[in-house]
């Protein structure tokens, strides 16, 4: 596969869904692409990529706290071609539609993002905790930037971190 063919896949996506829904596209090198997609169109884009361009493999899902908003990155693969679909998520409504019914491999990754970044996958078949302990306090999502080691320690252990540690 050449870079030109890869750029065509991204262009096809922009043409199909429109520039207002698929934007900020990048092809930094062979086998790599980054696109940003509106949350409302996420499921359609994932389904279109799977059915038309063979992106059947999901590598992982990353949640990122971008200070003014969250971002969920879906790392998809078709053979060697790695497409990274970014979805901006507003801070006051941290939810994304679940894609587990389209790509079954996403089942654990969505639970992981829900635990660590607090972005709820709507429509997930079993959205219980995956990596956090059962006695971890509700509403504490450690990878959000508002939590650092001091505030986490106070919240979870009730102790200050640093000088007060015996």
18 vs 137, beta carbon nearer another protein: 137
40 vs 151, beta carbon nearer another protein: 151
15 vs 148, beta carbon nearer another protein: 148
Neighbouring-strand partners of residue 22: 37
User: Which DSSP letter does residue 38 get?
Assistant: -
Does the CA dihedral 115-73-121-112 come out positive or negative? Answer: negative
96 vs 107, beta carbon nearer another protein: 107
Q: Least distance in Å: CB of 94 to another protein?
A: 16
Q: Site residues (CB under 8 A) for another protein?
A: 28-32, 34, 56-60, 62, 64-65, 73, 75, 77, 79-82, 84, 103-109, 112, 115-116, 129-133, 142-143, 149
Q: Least distance in Å: CB of 163 to another protein?
A: 18
CA distance 154 to 51: 48
Q: Least distance in Å: CB of 97 to another protein?
A: 18
34 vs 48, beta carbon nearer another protein: 34
User: Which DSSP letter does residue 134 get?
Assistant: T
The interaxial angle of helices 3-17 and 42-53, nearest 10 deg, is: 140
Tokens of 13: 């996506």
Nearest to 37 by CA among 55, 47, 49, 23: 23
Helices (H), 83-125: 107-117
Q: Least distance in Å: CB of 47 to another protein?
A: 14
Q: Least distance in Å: CB of 49 to another protein?
A: 14
């Amino acid at each position: 596969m050449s870079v030109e063919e890869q750029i065509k896949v991204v262009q096809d996506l922009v043409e199909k869904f429109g520039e207002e829904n698929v934007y900020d596209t990048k092809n930094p090198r062979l086998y790599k692409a980054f696109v940003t997609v509106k949350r409302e169109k996420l499921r359609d884009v994932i389904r279109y990529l799977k059915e038309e361009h063979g992106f059947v493999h999901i590598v992982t899902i990353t949640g990122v706290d971008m200070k003014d908003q969250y971002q969920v990155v879906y790392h998809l693969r078709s053979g060697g071609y790695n497409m990274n679909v970014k979805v901006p998520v507003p801070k006051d409504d941290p939810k994304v539609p679940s894609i587990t019914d389209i790509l079954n491999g996403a089942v654990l990754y969505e639970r992981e993002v829900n635990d660590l970044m607090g972005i709820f996958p709507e429509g997930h078949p079993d959205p219980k905790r995956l990596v956090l302990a059962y006695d971890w306090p509700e509403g504490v999502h450690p990878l959000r930037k508002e939590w650092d080691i001091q505030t986490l320690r106070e919240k979870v252990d009730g102790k200050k971190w640093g000088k007060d540690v015996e």
